[in-house]
Amino acid sequence: MMKADLITTLKRLTGAGILLALVVLTVSIFIPLPQELFAPVSVASVRVEDRRGIPLRTLLNDEQGRGVWKPLHEIAPEMRLAVVAIEDHRFRSHVGIDPLSVARAVWTNLISFRVRSGGSTLTQQAARRIVPIPRTLGGKLREAWYALRIERTLTKDEILEQYLNRAPFGNQLFGIEAAAKQYFDKSASSLSLAEAAFLAALPNAPTTLNPYRNDTAARERQRLVLRRMRDESMISQEEYDRAVIQPLNIVSPAVAFKAPHAVQMAIAELRETPSLAVVRTTIDAPLQSALEQIVRNALRQLTDRNVTNAAVVVIENATGAIRALVGSADFFDDAISGQVNGAVALRQPGSALKPFTYALAFESGMHPADIVADVPLAVEDADGDYVPENYDRQYHGPVRLRTALACSYNIPAVRLLRRMGKDRLKSKLIEAGFTTLTEPASHYGFGLTLGNADVRLLELTNAYASLARGGTWKQTALIEHVRLHAAGEWDVPPTGVREIFDERAAFLVSDILSDPAARRPAFGNAFRFPFWCAVKTGTTKDYRDNWTIGYTTSHTVGVWVGNFDGAPMRGVSGVTGAGTIFTDVITHVREVLGGSSDAPKAPQGVQRASVCAMSG
């Protein structure tokens, strides 16, 4: 009897506990939620600008989204109706949860053997945005509990306002005003019926329905929204017919996100800085836009040569400021891996590294008129004999250093490196800002002077800018100053200035690279400009990369052309590939940013003299 009594008592206590829990739960539903939960969310955004204040991008609040709170009366009526039609057509009649929608969702999930529908009302969806709730069964119950309490705290219109200002619309956009501005360049108050239906479709699956990646799916769901609105008698058949055929002029992502790779680099550089308000970069927005177009135009001419991508960097010599940075042909094109940043990707530079070997030679007392033998060579290296070949598969006999560098002959460069030493060249390249040369010099061998090491376009271009400055290396700058939300403004000081080459050695290299007569035997009449310009090309042996780097007295330009997947191009050299883009870019940079057309003056200790071709 005692055992039976104990079981009975436990059952009664359990029943009482359940009853008490139900009473508490029921009562709690009628307890209003604190009003602070529903306060309009002001987005603490970061505005990234070019050097003159032209906006490049506005991004990210703590929720990784962008938006401005819009009162319901400032949101187009069509938008309010569209959201109700597609998300919760019984919104005005239920108490926060909709038993019919839940039952339909359960049935749909059972017959399809997977979760296809959650049955959440607009109030429940708003609850998820107001209070973080996990997407679990327990979370679903909490969501319903919060929805019931929200319905007893806010009016239906206030709930709808909460939803429209907190819903995700893809591409890091939260809130209808941000979505309207991004996709249609207008306020949420000015949306047409077709536009409202389009935007109302997105929160259901903002990633899958991303208009920039899956426009077809987004438009199909827009038509579903319109059908629901018509079937619910929210719009007439005539309004439906007009909306279905109305063109949607979706703003290109490039319009709202200028200089994307440069912006990403600037934000990454300041990631640890709190409360950013405005980031003023060194980028020149009109120049950046023009160079992006130059790249696109040039690549269209190379499609039959299996060329899909290019990158361009423009550096102001005097300051190290990056005036333009094109990381790929199209940031928004996944087919060509457009979000890869070619300005900092690791690629082999080919002959573009040779000038630094020659600079070492000139520092050692050699001069451009010295003779070097361009004849067959086998030099002992770590992996056996290294046998370099010239690009044209020919030997040119005794040639002067001027001709050897200007024509980019490989064998003379290897002969010089054997004289200068691999360790010395590697150390000098590290001084010149190459951060990727992490292996011992023996790892690269004599191929180092021919560009067998991975480098970054940005670092290579800045190393050439050091030659343009007479041997002085400066750290590149992408950010001019930053304004904080909390307090004031601070400049980003330049970091790092060092002398890496003797001024005379740098001048001699520049003089050779700007000599059209010296390069004519190999390059014909390529790279002839109405202003002084030093230029060097580089092409890897298998045509996976080609480069053209050059400078005027005011700016240095680096261009890489190739494919991010490593696929070889078909017969594209530094002249026909990167050289074409370089010519257009350096010419446009001169027109837009100006600068002297004159050659740099010879430093003290350098004299120009005629040399007898026969005797030297």
Report pLDDT digits (tens) over 363-389: 999 999 999 999 999 998 887 889 999
Q: Dump pLDDT digits (tens) for 57-77.
A: 876 454 445 567 889 999 999
Residue 9: pLDDT band (50, 70, 90) is low
Prediction pTM value: 0.76
Neighbours of 100 (CB within 10 A): 10
State how far the Cα of 478 lies from the Cα of 464, in Å rounded to an integer. Answer: 18
CA proximity to 468, closest of 401, 420, 532, 416: 532
Give the whole-number percent of the chain exceeding pLDDT 90: 63
Q: Give pLDDT tens digits for 109-152.
A: 455 544 444 568 888 888 888 887 776 766 677 788 777 888 88
Residue 542 pLDDT more than 70? yes
Q: Name the one residue in this structure whose structure tokens are 């032209």.
A: 54
Give pLDDT, residue 62.
46
- The dihedral built from the CA positions of residue 26, 28, 32 and 38, taken in this order, carries a sign that is negative
- Identify the CA nearest to 293 among candidates 585, 597, 549: 585
Nearest alpha-carbon partner for 303 in 15, 569, 124 = 569
Better pLDDT: 307 or 334: 307
Residue at 501: amino acid letter = F
323 closest CA partner among 343, 353, 352, 338: 343
- pLDDT of residue 406 exceeding 90, the answer is yes
Q: Which residues contact 140 (CB under 8 A, 6 or more apart)?
A: 118
50, 56 in Cβ contact below 8 A? yes
Per-range mean pLDDT, top range of 245-259, 372-386, 431-445, 564-578: 431-445
Per-residue pLDDT, 3: 59
CA–CA dist 387, 571 (Å, integer):
23
* Share of the chain residues as helix, strand and coil, in percent rounded to the nearest 5: 45, 15, 40
DSSP state of 202: G
What is the edge-to-edge ordering of all strands in the sheet holding 545-551? 322-326, 309-316, 555-562, 545-551, 534-539
Quote the tokens at residue 381.
């290296």
Distance CA 417, CA 298 (A): 35
Q: Is 320 left (phi over 0), alpha (psi -120 to 50) or beta?
A: left
Residue 564, pLDDT > 90, answer yes
Query: Band of the pLDDT at 403, cuts 50, 70, 90?
Result: very high
Average pLDDT of the residues of the chain: 87
At residue 28 the predicted structure's pLDDT band, cuts being 50, 70 and 90, is low
Provide the pLDDT confidence category of residue 43 given band limits of 50, 70 and 90. low
Core vs surface per residue 133-152: b (16+ CB within 10 A) or e? beeeeeebebbbbbbbbbbe
| pLDDT at residue 142, rounded to an integer | 79
Report residue 274's pLDDT band, with 50, 70 and 90 as the boundaries: low
Q: Which pLDDT tens digit goes with each residue over 581-606?
A: 999 999 999 999 998 889 999 999 88
CB burial string 336-348: b at 16+ within 10 A, e below: bebbbbbbbbebb
- Side-chain-side CA neighbours of 73 within 13 Å: the count stands at 0
User: How far apart are alpha carbons 490 and 276 in whole angstroms?
Assistant: 11
Amino acid occupying residue 384: G
Pairing of strands 397-400, 46-49: unpaired
* Whether residue 19 has pLDDT greater than 70: no
C-alpha closest to that of 165 among 64, 75, 70? 70
Q: Which single residue is written with the structure tokens 């030659």? A: 467
pLDDT over 90 (residue 458): yes
Q: Provide the 3-class DSSP secondary structure of residue 432.
A: coil
Please identify which residue in the block is written with the tokens 């339909």.
104
Per-residue pLDDT at 491 exceeds 50? yes
